[in-house]
Amino acid sequence: MEGETTNSAQEIRRLQRCMNDLVSVLALPAAWSGGESQQIVHTLLKALLRVLALDFVYARVKDPNGAVPVDTLHIATSGPLGRSPQTISAALEPWLQDDAQGQTAPARIRLDNEDISVFPVWLGPHGEIGLLLAGSGRDDFPLETERLVLNIAANQAVVSLQQARLLGEQKRVAGELDNWVARRTAELAAANEELRKEIAEHQQTEHKLRRNEEALRDAHALVARGEELWRSVFENSAIGVALTDLEGHFIATNPVYQKMLGYTEEELQKLGFDDVTHADNQAANAALIGELMGSSRRQFQMEEQYRRKDGSLVWVRNNVSLVPGTERLPQFLMELSEDIAERKYAEEALRASESNFRLIVDTIPGQVCTLKPNFEVELVNKPLRDYFGLALEQLKDWEFIGVVHPDDLERVIAQSRHSAATAEPYSIEHRCRRHDGVFRWFQVRALPLRGADGQVVRWYLLLIDIEDRKRAEEAVMASERNLKLIINTIPALAWSARPEGTAEFFNQRWLDYTGLTAEQASEWGWTVALHPDDLDRVTSYWQAAVATSDSVEIEARLRRSDGAYRWFLFRASALRDDAGAIVKWYGTNADIDDRKRAEEHVRRSEAFLVEGQRLSRTGTFSWRVETGEITWSDELYRIFELDPATPATLELIGRRVHPEDLPMIGDMLASAQRADSQFEYEPRIVMADGSIKHIHLIAHAVRDAEGRLEYFGAAQDVTGRRLAEEGLTRARAELADVARVTSFGVLTASIAHEVNQPLSGIITNASTCLRMLDTDPPNLDGARETARRTIRDGHRASDVVMRLRGLFSKKEAAVEPVDLNEAAREVFALMLSELQQARVVLQSELSEDLPLIQGDRIQLQEVILNLLRNASDAMNTIEDRPRHVRIRTSRDASDDICLTVEDTGIGFDPQHTDALFQPFHTTKSDGMGIGLSVSRSIIEAHRGRLWATPNDGPGATFAFSIPRNPEAS
Ligand code: ADP
């Protein structure tokens, strides 16, 4: 344990010594600088002998040019070796042989009865510089530390020796050069002398010589000027220039350089480059100069600090180059130095202001961030970091971490890319996610900061929270949408225009109607929808109106999207501001096409009316009962054959009316004045020439808005018709008579049959009655019954006779309530036997609830009889099917009473239906062809209709219908 401690202590001491030795050895080159090899070897050996306490040290330095090597031996005076250098040299002979380089191990030799350890250290990688031999009596020599010191010392010495050798070479070369110059000068001088002699001898040669001299002088002057020029450049250069030898000693410096360092020229010449260089830069400088020497580069540049004479430091930029040597000049270093203290200071200040700026950005109360020119996030101030709840590092990835609303992100990225490329500032609105996940709207403004060269050096982003404004805007937009909805849903075409009249807005209805887009219609575009015939009128009217008036109203046609034109009423009013200037025009277009059409229609129908009145000989009139005011149409004046200028009065009318009809007219007027009524009369009027006109007069009451009574009516001149009707009635009556008479003959047989039946019944019953009375006792009950039957049959016979009489004797038509079923049954009774003979089966379907009708019973029975007989006639050739007649009575939909007679007879050609009803049209050999025509006039006299239709099957159907309450004519 103790031994170890002792060893450690020794080791430490040893190491310390070694360190000291190294320091001593490393200090050597300082002393060698610029020295010759002999001096270097000498100091080296001396130092080693002392430092390592050697007994001797020997050095052999070889001559590069092959001259004899120089051997140096130092022996410790206090050592055991005597002063016999020859002995030592001889003992060292084995290492001094040419082939001894490989020996690097220490060896022990015997010398002067002493055992000496010898350690060889070769100078230069292959001993080309020489050899160092260290000797010590110690048998542990050399220790590891001693080897180190020796090797380092040897290396140092090699460098110094090489330098010294180079220096020596330079000196030698310079010496040779000087010798050469001296020799050449001497030769030239000799030549000159010879020339002079020749000049003396030859004038021409003399002249030549003079010229030579002049040329030489010129050359000298040229050289002097060049030198002066160079000097001037050197002295006046704006940057510091220093020339140093390859060791760094100053050869020459210019004033700028001197001033920069605060030394004089003389002072500097005693100094080396390293003396003015900051310690930190020396190693780097040495390395770079080494590179220059190794000719791997021609020059280098570096920024470094110089130490001035007063100890202060100054920043310079150095450009160092190696100037190659010439015949007369060795190569040297040229150093161009620029004082960059100010620039460095500015950079420093910039750095300071930069950190200041960061501080400012961070303390701004608004939300700010700065970006690099490529839009990379550089700085985010605290309020903004707090808003996002994220750190700067996180915010650098803003594109990916969802801080910008996904719907806005693409737009924001596009904008920032665009601005990064173009340096354009921008303002954009988008949503940013707050730390709690809520998105709020921001207005983000980006402004570029440009450097002196105009390039963007930084972007400033200002984020302004506009959430509240956005909400307000949205509310406004919503109410605008609402308004727009209202405008678009009002059932009108609406628009607005600017004060000067150019269109600004059209509602959806307007656009839908015209099929134009808002862009197409804007300004004057809408005029394409105007009808070409209206275009000029409307545009000139509109232009004039906007200039002069407050409201506008014009009618014009507008083209619908399908190309159809419709009439519109264009209406617009101006909205004025407080100063009375028009701000806007608001207008609507109302579709008046239907009104326009109606107007046209009215105009036409008025024309029709006038024409119609004239053609139909119908005049119209109105009569205001209260005022007695009567208005007549022109046609009415014509009918009354009065001058249209004459005002129509009741009195004037009274004078024209036929005296027989006056009371009727009087009654009519009286009741019309009393209450609202509707009347229809046919009075006669007497013309000035005594001719009579039949007037069909019809009028009805109308109350106006104030409740006043007024009659509107029409009066038709029906004289012609009336006369014709009268003729027709007469003819009909006559025809009917004829018909009756002809029917009479046919009926005779059936009458006989009809009457015969009850008569034979009477006879039979009467005989039976007698027989019953004759029995004993007499059958009184039976007799009474048969007597009763006799009486019944008697009545039947008398009924038949009575009906026949009625049928043939009745002349005048009489209106009475008639039961059509009953009337039909009576006809069946009359026709029964005739139908049986003709083998016709009669089927009657008489409606139960048939109301009574107003009419002439006999005439109606005549019609039924006619139809029944025609049916029977139509079937008298039919053998292949039953001869059926079906009679039906019914009420139809309009409450008319109907009777149909359907047979299975031969039928008729439907094309000739009308002919059947023509008088005297018959297909029968014994027919007269008046039955149907008389029947039709009877039914029409009852305001009814008689018609014929062919059956679906065989046969035909004849039918008539009569209104329930026909107003008998
Ligand atoms: P007449 O019976 O004297 O011929 P009408 O005027 O009664 O005169 O009849 C005219 C014609 O109408 C008849 O000749 C007959 O051709 C046709 N006609 C009338 N009723 C029928 C019927 N039920 N079926 C077919 N034809 C008929």
In the block, tokens 């400088």 appear at: 285
The per-residue pLDDT for 969 is 35
The per-residue pLDDT for 76 is 82
Q: Of the residues 868, 904, 922, which should be mutated to test ligand 1's pocket, given the most ligand atoms within 8 Å of the CB?
A: 922
pLDDT at 746 over 70: no
pLDDT tens column, 70-119 = 888 888 887 776 657 788 888 888 888 877 777 788 888 887 788 889 99
**Ligand 1 centre from 922 Cα, in Å?**
6
Judge contact between 333 and 323, C-beta under 8 A. yes
pLDDT at 727 over 80: no
Measure the CA–CA gap between 124 and 622, rounded to whole angstroms.
153
Mean predicted confidence (pLDDT) in 663-675: 83
Q: What is the pTM of this model?
A: 0.29
Beta bridge partners of 371: 377, 459
CB-based contacts of 603: which residues, under 8 Å, 6+ apart? none
* Mean of per-residue pLDDT scores for the chain: 83
**Ligand 1 centre from 874 Cα, in Å?**
8
In the chain, what percentage of residues exceed pLDDT 70? 92
The per-residue pLDDT for 328 is 77
**Ligand 1 centre from 853 Cα, in Å?**
27
Judge contact between 384 and 463, C-beta under 8 A. yes
**Ligand 1 centre from 736 Cα, in Å?**
16
- Does the CA dihedral 505-509-513-519 come out positive or negative? positive
Beta bridge partners of 680: 698
Q: Which residues of 487-502 are buried (b: 16+ CB within 10 A; e: fewer)?
A: beeeeebbbbbebebe
Q: Which residues of 63-101 are buried (b: 16+ CB within 10 A; e: fewer)?
A: eeeeeeeebbbbbbeebebeeebeebeebbeebbeeebb
Q: What are phi and psi for residue 108, nearest 5 degrees? A: -110, 130
Range in 31-45, 537-551, 856-870, 897-911 with the lowest mean pLDDT: 31-45
The per-residue pLDDT for 1 is 47
Measure the CA–CA gap between 742 and 735, rounded to whole angstroms.
10
Q: Residue of the nearest CA to atom 21 in ligand 1?
A: 870
If DSSP codes are grouped into helix, strand and coil, which group holds residue 884?
strand
* Closest atom, ligand 1, to C-alpha of 919: 6
The per-residue pLDDT for 737 is 64
Measure the CA–CA gap between 151 and 124, rounded to whole angstroms.
11
pLDDT at 127 over 60: yes
The per-residue pLDDT for 244 is 87
**Ligand 1 centre from 317 Cα, in Å?**
146
Beta bridge partners of 841: 884
Q: Of the residues 738, 932, 933, 958, which should be mutated to test ligand 1's pocket, given the most ligand atoms within 8 Å of the CB?
A: 932
**Ligand 1 centre from 743 Cα, in Å?**
14
pLDDT tens column, 511-569 = 999 999 989 998 899 999 999 999 999 999 988 888 887 788 899 999 999 999 999 99
Beta bridge partners of 566: 558
In the block, tokens 């059958």 appear at: 779
Mean predicted confidence (pLDDT) in 1-24: 70
Mean predicted confidence (pLDDT) in 369-380: 87
Q: Residue of the nearest CA to atom 23 in ligand 1?
A: 871
Measure the CA–CA gap between 184 and 111, rounded to whole angstroms.
57
* 17 vs 374, residue with greater confidence: 374
Q: In what order do the strands lie in the sheet with 70-75?
A: 70-75, 56-61, 130-136, 114-123, 107-111
Measure the CA–CA gap between 181 and 173, rounded to whole angstroms.
12
Q: Residue of the nearest CA to atom 9 in ligand 1?
A: 929
The per-residue pLDDT for 753 is 61
**Ligand 1 centre from 142 Cα, in Å?**
175
Q: Residue of the nearest CA to atom 3 in ligand 1?
A: 927
Q: Of the residues 740, 741, 867, 870, which should be mutated to test ligand 1's pocket, given the most ligand atoms within 8 Å of the CB?
A: 870
* Closest atom, ligand 1, to C-alpha of 916: 12
Measure the CA–CA gap between 316 and 329, rounded to whole angstroms.
28
**Ligand 1 centre from 923 Cα, in Å?**
7
Mean predicted confidence (pLDDT) in 174-184: 82
Q: Residue of the nearest CA to atom 11 in ligand 1?
A: 922
* Closest atom, ligand 1, to C-alpha of 932: 6
pLDDT at 43 over 50: yes
Range in 362-371, 474-483, 734-743 with the lowest mean pLDDT: 734-743
Measure the CA–CA gap between 39 and 642, rounded to whole angstroms.
172
The per-residue pLDDT for 438 is 92
The per-residue pLDDT for 534 is 92
* Closest atom, ligand 1, to C-alpha of 905: 24
Range in 45-59, 512-526, 666-680, 773-787 with the lowest mean pLDDT: 666-680
Q: Of the residues 877, 887, 916, 925, which should be mutated to test ligand 1's pocket, given the most ligand atoms within 8 Å of the CB?
A: 916
Q: What are phi and psi for residue 964, nearest 5 degrees? A: -65, -40
Q: What are phi and psi for residue 103, nearest 5 degrees? A: -80, 115
Most confident among 159-173, 292-306, 585-599 (mean pLDDT): 585-599
pLDDT tens column, 625-649 = 888 889 998 888 999 988 888 888 8
The per-residue pLDDT for 961 is 94
The per-residue pLDDT for 193 is 83
Mean predicted confidence (pLDDT) in 590-610: 87
Q: Residue of the nearest CA to atom 7 in ligand 1?
A: 931
Measure the CA–CA gap between 75 and 82, rounded to whole angstroms.
9
Measure the CA–CA gap between 527 and 671, rounded to whole angstroms.
63
β-strands 439-450, 332-339: how paired? unpaired
Measure the CA–CA gap between 857 and 853, rounded to whole angstroms.
10
**Ligand 1 centre from 868 Cα, in Å?**
11
* Closest atom, ligand 1, to C-alpha of 866: 7
* Closest atom, ligand 1, to C-alpha of 921: 10
**Ligand 1 centre from 355 Cα, in Å?**
131
Q: Residue of the nearest CA to atom 8 in ligand 1?
A: 929
**Confidence band of 352 (pLDDT split at 50, 70, 90):** low
Judge contact between 429 and 462, C-beta under 8 A. no
Residue 117 tokens read as 């350890």
**Ligand 1 centre from 589 Cα, in Å?**
69
pLDDT at 968 over 60: no
* Closest atom, ligand 1, to C-alpha of 928: 3
Cα 915 from chain centre: 79
The per-residue pLDDT for 733 is 64
**Ligand 1 centre from 707 Cα, in Å?**
59
pLDDT tens column, 940-962 = 888 899 999 999 999 999 999 99
**Ligand 1 centre from 725 Cα, in Å?**
26
Distance (Å) of CA 597 to CA 167, 227, 353, 428, 593: 128, 117, 86, 57, 6
Ligand 1 pocket: which residues have CB below 6 Å?
Answer: 866, 870-871, 874, 903, 905-908, 916, 921-924, 927-932, 956, 958
